[in-house]
Amino acid sequence: MAKKIVFIGAGPGGYVGAIRAAKLGADVTVVENDRVGGTCLNRGCIPTKALLASSDVLTAIKEAEEFGIHIDGRVSPDIGAMMDRKDKIVDRLVRGIEFLFEKNNVKMIKGTGRITDKNEVTVLKGDGSSETLKADAIVVATGSSPARIPIFPYDGKRVLTSDEALNLRLLPSSMIIVGAGVIGCEFGMFFNNLGTSITVVEMMDHALPLEDKEIGREMEKVLKRKKIKLMLSTKIVKAEIIDNGVKATLHSGEVIEAEIMLVAIGRKANIQGLGLEQAGVRVENGRIPVDEFMKTNIDSIYAVGDVVPGPQLAHIASAEAECAVENIMGNKCSMDYSAVPRGVFTDPEVAGVGLTEEEALARGYRIKKGVFDFRGLGKAQAMGQLTGKVKVIADEITGKILGASILGPHATDLIQELVAGIKYGLTAEELSAAIHSHPTLSEAVMEALKDVNGDAIHKI
């Protein structure tokens, strides 16, 4: 008899795990109280990238003269049309997942799932009825929501989270963004490019505080060139909604104002109301601890994605879900987080994998590093994309790659070569020996790898 698996949540953890389980022969049911795709598809990764793509087109038009192209007439952004395009893309991808469920015989139940026993999930439906599902295994994949900090008077109009920012139909004249992390930088660049005056307030001493500090400093230069005001080592102690916008009081006593405020300072796991305590599932610091097999302290209950400790990234959720399913189905899988790529879809992009320089030194490694600027590439010159660099950190003793960071064009695509290098324990010399096509942006990765040992050819 096929194993019965119930997934609570249909985000990048739940839907990927469900399809994988069905392909392995399981009887799969997914419980979801919203649309399939989770935050990533509906309110995160995909919508933001669709909007940023519109912003990139506007940038290309603004810079057309540099490429010998003359554009006559008025060019202006239409934020409503951009939002419509974004919604169409999301709808298309949602239908794609629903089709995959149907094709793979994954059952979908609309409602809120609650664990009522270690092998039982009760679903409360929109019409007030309920249904009880029996399962050999339960996978919690309920994702996360924007963190709401008490000092900010959220109203969805003047003080927003990223959820509301993704549905703005009128372009604000000015915006305060709280947090210079991934969300803050991406939204800041999007609205700045459309003409909004942006002020970013960050508690830490550099932009993108979770990335390599050198790369964060490079991002600060980019923000400055775009005339985005960045206030580092700064804390907001009070925020108020006023007649014409929002007023924020800083720890220094300075007061800043804007039409709206976007609070972009992290996310919290969606674990309330799941019945975890009733089922005996341990919760620590607002997350669900799991072992390397993605199993909780209860043998039949697994958890994946944003609800477990670690980085809250869609691709991690998918990998964890597939790993959990393999273990449920009797195969052996343990999670390896040593080579997880990170991406920031700004202009230019930022990507990283493995350890930053600061993390490597803090762990006691003796390191050597290689750096190569994109301006040294023929392809980057041809594209007019000169800003940025590739940075590689290697163990001085073994030569193995410990981490890498990229700020530059297509950084989120280029990082994958370095992900593979770390995943399979390659040295900088071994990976750089692979022939890289010319002229391509990937040559910057090759040159940075060679530079670890002082062998870069085109470095000035």
Residue 69 has pLDDT above 90, yes or no: yes
Structure tokens at 354: 């493995």
Taking the complete model, does pTM exceed 0.75, yes or no?
yes
- CA–CA dist 108, 131 (Å, integer): 13
Confidence at residue 384, expressed as pLDDT on a 0 to 100 scale: 96
Residue 363 has pLDDT above 90, yes or no: yes
- CA–CA dist 100, 109 (Å, integer): 15
Helix axes 45-62, 182-194, angle to 10 degrees: 40
Confidence at residue 261, expressed as pLDDT on a 0 to 100 scale: 98
Cβ atoms of residues 415 and 392 within 8 Å: no
Residue 224 has pLDDT above 90, yes or no: yes
Which residue numbers belong to the known binding site for FAD?
A: 49, 113, 142-144, 306
Q: What is the mean pLDDT of the chain?
A: 97
Segment 311-324 shows an average pLDDT of 97
Band of pLDDT at residue 113, cut at 50, 70 and 90: very high
Is the bond leading into 311 cis (omega within 30 degrees of zero)? no
CA dihedral 138, 141, 145, 149 (to 10 degrees): 60
**How large a percentage of the chain has pLDDT more than 70?**
100
DSSP-H helix ranges across 305-371: 314-328, 357-362
Alpha-carbon 416 to chain mean position: 15
Classify residue 107 as exposed, middle or buried by CB count within 10 Å of its CB (0-12, 13-18, 19+).
middle
State the amino acid at position 234 in one-letter form. Answer: T
Please pick, among 70, 206, 438, 458, the residue that the annotation labels catalytic: 438
Q: CA geometry: angle at 95 spanning 49 and 269, to 5°?
A: 60
What digits encode the pLDDT tens for the residues 393-450? 999 999 999 999 999 999 999 999 999 999 999 999 999 999 999 999 999 999 999 9
Confidence at residue 73, expressed as pLDDT on a 0 to 100 scale: 87
Kindly give the pairing relationship between strand 401-408 and strand 349-354.
antiparallel
Which residue numbers belong to the known binding site?
A: 49, 113, 142-144, 179-186, 202, 266, 306
* DSSP notation for 264-320: -S-EEE--TTS-HHHHT---BTTB----TTSB-SSTTEEE-GGGSSS---HHHHHHH
- CA–CA dist 54, 222 (Å, integer): 19
Residue 460 has pLDDT above 90, yes or no: no
How many Cα atoms sit within 13 Å of 243 on the Cβ side?
0
- CA–CA dist 378, 212 (Å, integer): 26
- CA–CA dist 25, 326 (Å, integer): 11
- Is residue 438 part of the annotated active site? The answer reads yes
Segment 191-206 shows an average pLDDT of 97
What digits encode the pLDDT tens for the residues 73-89? 899 999 999 999 999 99
Which residue numbers belong to the known binding site for NAD(+)?
A: 179-186, 202, 266
Alpha-carbon 460 to chain mean position: 34
- CA–CA dist 324, 20 (Å, integer): 10
CB contact set of 362 (below 8 Å; sequence gap of 6+): none
- Going along the chain from its start, the domains and CATH numbers come out as 4-145+268-328 (3.50.50.60), 159-265 (3.50.50.60), 342-451 (3.30.390.30)
Residue 266 has pLDDT above 90, yes or no: no
Sign for the pseudo-dihedral over CA of 380, 386, 387, 392: positive
State the amino acid at position 426 in one-letter form. Answer: L
* DSSP notation for 179-221: --SHHHHHHHHHHHHHT-EEEEE-SSSSSSTTS-HHHHHHHHH
Q: CA geometry: angle at 403 spanning 402 and 405, to 5°?
A: 165
What digits encode the pLDDT tens for the residues 126-151? 999 999 999 999 999 999 999 899 99
